Amino acid sequence: MKKTVSVLMTLAVVLCAGSCSGSSKNEQSTSIPVSTPAETEITTAYAQETTETEAPATEKYIAEKTSGTIVLTNKMTELERSCVRKRPFSLLDKQLPEPGVMIGNVIVTKEASVSLYQELLDNGRMTEEEFNEIKSEASNYSYRGALINGVVYTGYIPEDGYDGGYLFIDEELSFDSKEEFFDSQRKNCEEDGMDKTSTDCFVKQTELVFDAVINGTYTAIPDRYERFDMSFNNSDPFADFRSSWEYDAEALSQIKDHIDEYLVYDEQLGLEFIVHVTLPPDYDAAQSYPVFFMTDGVWRLNDHAALYKAMEQGEAADVILVSLAYDYYINGTEDQFRDNLLIKEREKLLDFICDDLMPYLGENYRIDYADSTLFGHSMGGVFSHCACFKSDCYENQPFFRYIVGSPAFFNLYGTVSDYDADSAMSEYGYFDRNEVLKKKIFICGGSLEDPDYSGAYHGHDSLLKGLEKLNERISAHKADLTYKLYESHHYQYVPGMLLEFLKAEYPRS
């Protein structure tokens, strides 16, 4: 037990110092009837359309929606299901919602724990002998672990039944009260050179976990393997980046009663997402609706109000609006986070949306998957392009239409190695596997946006050149494609384009 605690404390310091395709899936079938790197202003107007090209209907394949019933298989793991939380719409609240705590008996295998030291080994800062010793030790212990808002906590967790008083850890560690233990944790952090912000964060996490155990207010994680090398281990679960969300508070307040807010954890990415679901006017739970799905919810949630109003005024048919974002403790406007999710880990994100999130939503709402749409812009455009041309690789088919807005393909070329750029430029081999594109695709951009990112191209195609080449490649396969340019810079056209698309593709009958 003593060794367990000492390793725990070591892990806690490592993980908190900066703090503060393929997981195993449980399958459950569900049968249902058939952005932008730096947005600095909010606008509901869209720029004038300047270019539209579309091959004559006689010269292209016309994609047809699936008739009958589409069946999606929910592949969420037991852990992922246990972590889903639905709460009232909270973006407009004055206070941040209380953080959730999930606790369970976590078996830390050598693969999970030694991954923390893999980089040291790879960089020559640790010998292979030292690495193997850690690997051997790691396979011999287990302990309780916790997630706070999806962020891993690896400090000490008391056993169930602890009442906040005397705490015995081992022969050398005992405390008269939880407060004495917290003081000890703070002192240890300071002695280890942790700054005040990180120390406060770690102690606050510890207090939250202790209170959850004492009051029995935590959600239990199933006894199973859990990773400790997640992308956002060092995030602050108490951070509040709601101020970075761009939205019209008055417009959203008018539809807030129609917005459901979910927190959905993905084990493969090691992230907890916030998902906003806006139900159409006069929503009927017995009726099925298409989903209009948008990435970069930090900006796109703002569009829900205008799209909802169009449905309310009879300018478009009813659809369910869904936007996906990082939870409030991560700044979803920062390029490093967007690049990691929408480009570097785009196939894992696609796994999550196709195999977890969309089937889960289908268990709570009647969704017409055969008529649904996926939209992404900028880095999100790179993702929606991937989603479209990898769609045939999935058993689950949650979307029929794909909007690829101003795809920032130049971001596929990293400073050290590219993010599978060659595969992306050949549409991921889709036309090697298929004669025709069986989906409907809309490609769009702003005719004025090339200079916006001139310093980011580094010898690769500009944004507009990438768009033109994409249009040429897909048109050569006689796909059901529409290509439009708007007299606009990088993102100003997006709100109006979405409204235009909704009215055109989902007309009120």
Model confidence at 32, pLDDT cuts 50, 70, 90, reads: very low
Is the alpha carbon torsion for 337, 17, 3, 175 positive or negative? negative
Q: Which fold has domain 54-91+239-505?
A: Rossmann fold (3.40.50)
Model confidence at 432, pLDDT cuts 50, 70, 90, reads: very high
pLDDT over threshold 50, residue 38? no
CA–CA dist 405, 379 (Å, integer): 9
Look up the pTM and report it: 0.81
pLDDT over threshold 60, residue 120? yes
Q: What pLDDT is attached to residue 168?
A: 92
Q: What pLDDT is attached to residue 106?
A: 57
Tokens of 440: 């409907």
Span 132-190, pLDDT tens digits: 887 777 666 566 778 888 777 878 999 889 999 999 988 888 999 999 999 999 999 99
196-215 and 2-16 helices cross at what angle (nearest 10)?
A: 130
Q: How many helices (H) and strands (E) does the chain have?
A: 17, 18
pLDDT over threshold 80, residue 16? no
Q: What pLDDT is attached to residue 264?
A: 94
Q: What pLDDT is attached to residue 152?
A: 79
Model confidence at 118, pLDDT cuts 50, 70, 90, reads: confident
Closest CA to 213 of 55, 104, 84: 104
Q: What pLDDT is attached to residue 342?
A: 95
Q: What is the mean pLDDT of residues 411-425?
A: 84
Model confidence at 30, pLDDT cuts 50, 70, 90, reads: very low
Q: What is the mean pLDDT of residues 4-15?
A: 35
Q: What pLDDT is attached to residue 213?
A: 93
- Name the amino acid, one letter, at 94: K
Model confidence at 332, pLDDT cuts 50, 70, 90, reads: very high
pLDDT over threshold 70, residue 240? yes
Q: What pLDDT is attached to residue 361?
A: 98
Strands (E), 352-506: 373-377, 401-405, 440-446, 481-486
Q: What pLDDT is attached to residue 36?
A: 40
Q: What pLDDT is attached to residue 390?
A: 98
Domain boundaries, the chain: 2-20+100-225, 54-91+239-505
Q: What pLDDT is attached to residue 288?
A: 95
Model confidence at 509, pLDDT cuts 50, 70, 90, reads: confident
Q: Which residue has the higher pLDDT, 374 or 54?
A: 374
pLDDT over threshold 80, residue 284? yes
Q: What is the mean pLDDT of residues 462-482?
A: 96
Task: Report the mean per-residue pLDDT for the chain.
Answer: 84
pLDDT over threshold 70, residue 23? no
Q: Which of 47-51, 94-98, 264-268, 433-437 has the lowest mean pLDDT?
A: 47-51
Complete DSSP assignment for 185-243? HHHHHHHTT--HHHHHHHHHHHHHHHHHHHHT-PEEEEEEE--S--TTTT--TT---GG
DSSP 413: B
Model confidence at 59, pLDDT cuts 50, 70, 90, reads: confident
Q: Which of 5-19, 135-149, 228-242, 438-452 has the lowest mean pLDDT?
A: 5-19
Model confidence at 304, pLDDT cuts 50, 70, 90, reads: very high
Complete DSSP assignment for 361-405? HHHHS-B-GGG-EEEEETHHHHHHHHHHHTGGG-S----SEEEEE
Q: What pLDDT is attached to residue 476?
A: 95
Closest CA to 268 of 399, 18, 420, 76: 76
Q: What pLDDT is attached to residue 52?
A: 58
pLDDT over threshold 80, residue 422? yes
pLDDT over threshold 60, residue 117? yes
Span 188-199, pLDDT tens digits: 999 999 999 889
Tokens of 380: 């999100």
Model confidence at 131, pLDDT cuts 50, 70, 90, reads: confident
Q: What is the mean pLDDT of residues 49-62?
A: 63
How much of the chain exceeds pLDDT 70, in percent? Answer: 82
Cα angle: 490, vertex 494, 498; to 5 degrees: 160
pLDDT over threshold 80, residue 115? no
